[in-house]
Structure 1
């Protein structure tokens, strides 16, 4: 399988604090890979390293076989990488439609009309300011903006965070659809059981190190391991 993302022995620091300690992982073409772990495990730091926001001091990061270690977020996005950050990071003073217009559309399957069809609620609220949207609507808007890049790789950092269960299910269905359309997905989630329902493979981070790498379904079905590694109880 062709790798669209490769992390090789990544070490990332915040000042003198050593956060990531030799993280290695891959996302293959057309795969949905889940990155799991408790709060403070290093998941968001991994995403910031991948996207060039907090470059690693050691190790290599490759996109589509090309070494992009230390590259700017703009250059990484230009390769065909869509990023939905933790906390959504939409423009609260702009309308929904203006938030979408900010993105420089890349030719492909997804355009503004397409994301309005995917998220009818956004079309209904297209003249509303981003800051007045609910958490779920903001998450939809953040995903919609990333899709306008027509990414080959979509990275989502905690998309279910703070959302009502019914909205979480809708967001996760959207993530599954991205995979079905052939987009490679890296899904960073604290809700391990939901993520593992969608994922092909999974990694678990603990204190900045990978402590599990393997088949997502096998991890999901192993109640004891789920509780030990991902810090969750097995859902019904």
Structure 2
């Protein structure tokens, strides 16, 4: 697996490269978003670790560009800012995880392993037929979702959330239960983080069908997928 580390701090780039190669990964490093995009436009990495604040092109813009090519490459943001609004913004544009500096290199490698496990989960589902409920079809082999036969551009996190809700129609999934699904154990995220993912998920489906309302908010509890015919 090839990991790209994009950060304007040379010492941090080398520290992460050493740690990741020690774990058996191939690692390319870049000093800013512009240098990284030049490489990514030719060949995307299997996972990208992006510093939010960089000269020439920041991590947020680089993530936006990555998502124009792939919705499934995991993106983990690094930032010196510990503001909730910054975490939410990173997740809204397609990030899968967010760590604040300074951080534990060991924790970062664990989070990367979790992100890769999500991707590999599709291989375990390869023998299963696509799951269909109403107009929604979920293909765990290809990690794709379609609504009324129109392909949805979802991140891994969004696909996992949609799958969890759609496979239990009518049952409420609390924000806490959903957070346990999409984030590593011990990771702190607020309930607003899950709300942000759900908001983006709804918006993407509504771009295909303005009348989509299958994901229901159960105020004070969480979310549920509407039962067919309900």
| Same fold flag (TM > 0.5) | no
Q: TM-score w.r.t. structure 1 length? A: 0.29
Q: TM-score w.r.t. structure 2 length? A: 0.29
Answer 1 or 2: higher relative contact order, Cα 8 Å, separation at least 6: 1
